[in-house]
Structure 1
């Protein structure tokens, strides 16, 4: 990071972060990552950082500080789904970016367990279909090879790519990899292969497949298969299915609330900041990369993660910087956040993938702890109308306002000392395009300053939305801002009831020249 700043970069993408909130500092905002990035922001560098892949569970973020743009991962409108048609007429859904079986015909199924060359092969996990020399080519040739999915795939010692190579070398008509045991938290992504292939991720569907195979396979007195009468055909999975219910917050994307220390106390900072595409992203890949065994030796890969989402924001930030070279990192972040979309392609509120109590995936209405201000809108971010700006001094004041913070620690790590401006300040007073009050007792008054970056004078009508548990008021009800000028708005939050949960709302500033500036608000009432 230091070398990048020395080189004079404008944008820094960070697809890494700490494994957990640090214990070496009293607050998460002074961990080595965030402290180094504060120096980068001071030098005028915009920083996008991946939120983390610990979702859908709360407080799993690995990016904490307000000077960083923390990026959640969204599932876009492309889905590479496929299905297997069994000889008994059943359709088994799965994943697979592959061609259909030859002539869209069905072929006999053979389990790797019934194609083993010798009993000694079991010690090599032959059922994973990673080693063709362990399987009988004469038996497999012209059939669809049925393979198991074990922990080896999760650990990276087995891969779908290797299964496809095994099937091809044995002359198989295709392959099926079936998940027999649940692996909570596992990301199942379709892998592009050149021969017909499908991954069955639903354990109940795998049971249907295995029941059909076992009931259709003829065996001798010793249990050896003598005739393979189970048949199946793999559909064409090369064309994606497009959905209007996109984007959605990806199941794996880390969630808020943000935490201020290693004891996981809630912070008065909203995180993540924004949602960007992060599922099944095609991108350049280092052939010698070791992170994903399915793409060893490849020049391109289709990967999912918040590490895929953050570069989208970095790229859009670069376009904003190109158009507005004098803008600060916080102004760029503001432009991205205040113009983000809160509706999907079907004009419905954004939804987030979650787990049910039985560990099944479901969808629920997304909150700012899932997606921050919403899904990035590149066109809108290039013309935001207003921005909320913050300086390095403002960030130091923020650090010094954190209760029980060690001011010497701030000075030693951040390189700037706390001053009289910090007295009476609270973390949520920082002029950023969101408001988060983790402990709302009675009434709290917060101020925000907006600056016009438009070429024309514009009058903004201010509206609010908040559940009845928290009252949200903004004055004045409208502001007129001339180009380059700033106006202050006063936000009043009042706890009407204590529910033990957060309330989510927003401030919307609608301009008479077509701009719409949104500021998400989250608060929890306390006695």
Structure 2
């Protein structure tokens, strides 16, 4: 969680494998025979048969695929015929043409997650290059690299390798972190290619997010990417502990991603001397071998620090002599580094982040505020307090998904969507310390990390997955498909509701068939900039061209942007009426009729005109208007509802959020 990143993905529209049906009859399990044309034979040491088998093994997830290949072509051209289902054929035809670009701390090219075994040459329309610098080589999986921070794109921090493999890492068996989370690691789209751009290093990350788009390099770059058909994903930020209005990604042409929990939880239990067990959170691979160790509070083990700093085990506060062979207690998780540096045997810490576990460099566990207070009661009840910190284990988290406490909140901007970002196992740099303390001599190939940086690549992978089914969709259409098919999250478990999870939790299955999409027409992003009151100089700083705002008698508002979420800021203490014009494009069934259903907070009166949208063809567009009325809101408050369009097959859902917080909302 210590860093934040963003990803973009590019789609190369060249058809690497052209699949065509050769038989209309079903062949075992509704399989048909398809031919995959792979082009000419590559130069060098290359085995066509081995390549063909590897491709099918990664697709079918079976160790033996000989019975599925009906013919292998190895002379005049390179290809094979195989028995596949329609779904498998579509996947084979397009996924290896998708390229996910990762802007992060670089990448570790030798990781098994980035092996090019089974991959053919890069798509012919790939115009990038491998300029990874010193001691760096690309392959047919990792097809591009650049470095802007050091003399090599090699990842020495681990963060970039982790995000890249989460998005598009190969299928790797027996991945684990010292036996924890053992299983098969795979990215969201394992057959996609990767281009890695090292834009940040040990000193930190590029600054991201500003409502002044003309001075935000990420917003400017993403604007041009969107104009060229590239969708940019960005982490919403890890400032949730700061409260509301902390989301860093604000440009409407960027997809901002919040982090949520998964159903796997890492716990590090603490057994007290009185026999009581407290559940803590940590990824702790160490064991005290059944020994209960004396406890010492940071305040009693400090020398030369004020009381608050000593309690928190701030840097330089602990005495090595006073913590020797003891477990030191700190009332701030950041005290972990000082506890390790001072030579303590272990550490018990207080955390604000329930259900989030971080890798620790020695026996340590973080207790929630409630459990930490219970622990303090024991500590104060005896002069010989002892405890044992158990090695971490995994349990099922029945409350998931819940937005992580560290995940940044709206408004100012509301996250677009939420995705898994807690306790994610993925590839790591073997030269980087697996824990955030920097005092960790271990080396790992796979590590467990948490943050919106971990949720962002999940959505990048899903966007790439949608692109494989719809290679000609625009970035805004893909973004819409992800948002309108997201699963609503339980507001009772997420007090900040849409401010924390946006449109909801990602749903990969539904996203490929959304029914309707909110597609932006040419010039819409420019009109959005005009709606903010930007002059020509500021607009030129974003667009790079000499353009001016269109002359119109009707004032265009930021909330008029054709965005799936309907969000508006209103003045506190005043009743309000807000209008949202929207246009949807039919991408579901050619002849279809959608009916509108409103789910509303009792404080909102919502009307949709028209209530029925009838389509006669694919790509046909229909416009509707939503009017939201309500009584005065108190200062810094929010009410919400949702609009759902349905044809009986597709459910196209848009959150409706009205708030009285000052600042710029993505659709204000």
> For residues 45-84 of structure 1, what are the structure 2 equivalents within 5 Å?
45-56=230-241, 57-84=243-270
Over the aligned positions, Cα root-mean-square deviation in angstroms equals 4.2
Q: In the alignment, does 2:384 pair up with 1:210?
A: no
Q: In the alignment, does 2:649 pair up with 1:519?
A: no
> For residues 341-420 of structure 1, what are the structure 2 equivalents within 5 Å?
341-343=487-489, 348-349=490-491, 351-352=493-494, 364=495, 366-402=496-532, 404-416=533-545, 417-420=547-550
Q: Choose the corresponding residue for 1:433, options 545, 552, 564.
A: 564
CA distance in 1, matches of 2:101, 2:485: 21
CA distance in 2, matches of 1:10, 1:100: 39
> For residues 186-205 of structure 1, what are the structure 2 equivalents within 5 Å?
189-191=357-359, 197-200=364-367, 202=369, 203-205=372-374
2:328–2:339 CA contact under 8 A, matched in 1:
no
Q: In the alignment, does 2:592 pair up with 1:458?
A: yes
Q: TM-score, normalised by structure 1?
A: 0.73
Structure 1 residues 486 and 47, CA gap change in structure 2 (3 angstroms): same
3-state DSSP class of the match of 2:652? strand
Q: Unaligned stretches of 5+ in structure 1?
A: 168-174, 217-229, 259-269, 353-363
Residue 287 of structure 1: aligned partner: 430
1:275–1:371 CA contact under 8 A, matched in 2:
yes
| TM-superposed deviation, 1:411 | 2.4
2:10–2:230 CA contact under 8 A, matched in 1:
no
| TM-superposed deviation, 1:187 | 10
Q: Report the count of equivalent residues.
A: 452
2:577–2:629 CA contact under 8 A, matched in 1:
yes
Residue 338 of structure 1: aligned partner: 484
1:468–1:496 CA contact under 8 A, matched in 2:
no
2:295–2:387 CA contact under 8 A, matched in 1:
no
Q: In the alignment, does 2:475 pair up with 1:326?
A: no
Which stretch of structure 1 is more off in the superposition, 327-336 or 432-441? 432-441
Give CA-to-partner distance per residue, 1:26-81, whole Å, 9 cap, x none.
x3465222011101111111110001111141111111011000001112222222
Give CA-to-partner distance per residue, 1:70-119, whole Å, 9 cap, x none.
0011122222223222332322332244479677x554536599xx9xx9
Q: Choose the corresponding residue for 1:510, options 638, 646, 654.
A: 646
CA distance in 2, matches of 1:17, 1:99: 32
Residue 41 of structure 1: aligned partner: 226
Q: TM-score, normalised by structure 2?
A: 0.59
CA distance in 1, matches of 2:339, 2:444: 14
2:515–2:650 CA contact under 8 A, matched in 1:
yes
The answer to which structure, 1 or 2, has the higher relative contact order (CA under 8 A, 6+ apart) is 1
Give CA-to-partner distance per residue, 1:423-475, whole Å, 9 cap, x none.
52221111111112213775343221111222553322111122243321112
| TM-superposed deviation, 1:493 | 2.0
> For residues 112-127 of structure 1, what are the structure 2 equivalents within 5 Å?
none
Q: Choose the corresponding residue for 2:328, options 133, 136, 147.
A: 147
Structure 1 residues 321 and 499, CA gap change in structure 2 (3 angstroms): same
Over 6 Å off, 4+ runs: 4-9, 127-130, 182-188
Residue 190 of structure 2: aligned partner: none
CA distance in 2, matches of 1:48, 1:523: 25
2:269–2:281 CA contact under 8 A, matched in 1:
yes
CA distance in 1, matches of 2:485, 2:357: 31
2:214–2:541 CA contact under 8 A, matched in 1:
no
Q: In the alignment, does 2:229 pair up with 1:93?
A: no
